A and B are shown apart, each in its own frame.
Chain A
Amino acid sequence: MIKLNCEDVRREISNYIDNDISPVNRKLLEAHLEQCQYCAVLLDSVHNVLVLIADERRFELPAGFGTRLRQRLNEEFADFKSKRP
């Protein structure tokens, strides 16, 4: 089997996280990760940061957002209805 070097791993790391990688490349990459601490740390750290940025608790709509949106939409709906025959 052809071994991957660290640059090959960096190139594929994002696809690996997305599970968008061929079974052969997955095996090669995992074999490299077992031997290379730096690449293993890279994967863990990128993964860690991505989990954090996606966490639902980070996202809170501003107070009154829904009310203000509904107000504008309801005006729009009234306009829409008035234009209908």
Chain B
Amino acid sequence: MNSQGDPEILEQERRLIAEILAGDPERFYELIAPIEKRVYFTAYEILQSSTEAEDVAQEAILKAFRGLATFRGDSKFSTWLFRITVNEARMRLRKNKEVSLELLVADDGETVYTPIQLADWREIPLETVVRKDLADHLENAIASLPLSYREVLILRDIDGINIVQTADILGITVANVKVRLLRARLMLRDYFVSENLIRASTTVGAKRK
């Protein structure tokens, strides 16, 4: 995997940024257009509030513009903007709820999270994602994850950012991203089981630990 991104794309971005800084600021829209929606939803999934998410998304984008001259261009612009967004959202979270830094520190130990054992799973059809009840359940499931797991899941499974870039954005190792991602995914799935949102038969007395 390559954390630097496609060299051609990086070069295009560098040229565009140079033109913006040389006096064509409106072209900044070209940089943010493909990612502004994901910036908003990254903030939203962290903060669970649309008003705050919009504030944070705006602040992050404005900060990126103001700091554009300091952007070194050795990673993709989007990676940099997502890092600013995550940091802004965390700051907001701490200010609001006085969330301590400890909550951001995940247990990245070797213990494997043991998911609820199921004998079958009736697939939740993709079409139902437009239904409000399922949409709400999905939101609640994501919100139920500890922040450090949620962040990894948002970047990787919602924003579609690769593991190396996710590590870069969060300032953690690739190994830690993988550990957190595994737990986040299993816990997310278990939310649906434990809230009885799916019709599936669980085994009585799991055979394996």
Secondary structure type dominating chain B contacts? helix
Cβ of B7: which chain A residues have Cβ within 8 Å of it?
A: none
Task: Tell me if A24 counts as interface (CB < 8 A to partner B).
Answer: no
C-alpha spacing A58/B138, complex, angstroms: 9
Whether A53 lies near B138 (C-beta < 8 A) is yes
Size class of the contact patch on chain B: 35 or more
Question: Chain B's nearest CB lies how many Å from the CB of A29?
Answer: 14
Residues of B96-141 at the interface with A, using a CB-CB cut-off of 8 Å, are 112-115, 117-121, 123-124, 126, 129-130, 134-135, 138, 141
Task: Tell me if B186 counts as interface (CB < 8 A to partner A).
Answer: yes
Residues of B24-63 at the interface with A, using a CB-CB cut-off of 8 Å, are 25-26, 28-29, 36-37, 40-41, 50, 54, 57-58, 61-62
Q: What are 11 inter-chain pairs, A to B, with CB distance below 8 A?
A: A10-B114, A14-B185, A38-B117, A42-B117, A42-B118, A45-B121, A46-B185, A46-B189, A49-B124, A68-B54, A70-B29
Cβ of A68: which chain B residues have Cβ within 8 Å of it?
A: 54, 58
Size of A's binding interface in residues, CB under 8 A = 43
Whether B123 lies near A73 (C-beta < 8 A) is no
Task: Tell me if B81 counts as interface (CB < 8 A to partner A).
Answer: no
- Beyond A38-B118, A41-B121, A46-B185, 19 additional contacts (C-beta under 8 Å) are A5-B208, A10-B113, A11-B112, A38-B117, A41-B200, A42-B115, A48-B121, A48-B189, A52-B129, A53-B142, A54-B157, A54-B158, A55-B126, A61-B37, A69-B61, A73-B61, A76-B66, A77-B28, A81-B23
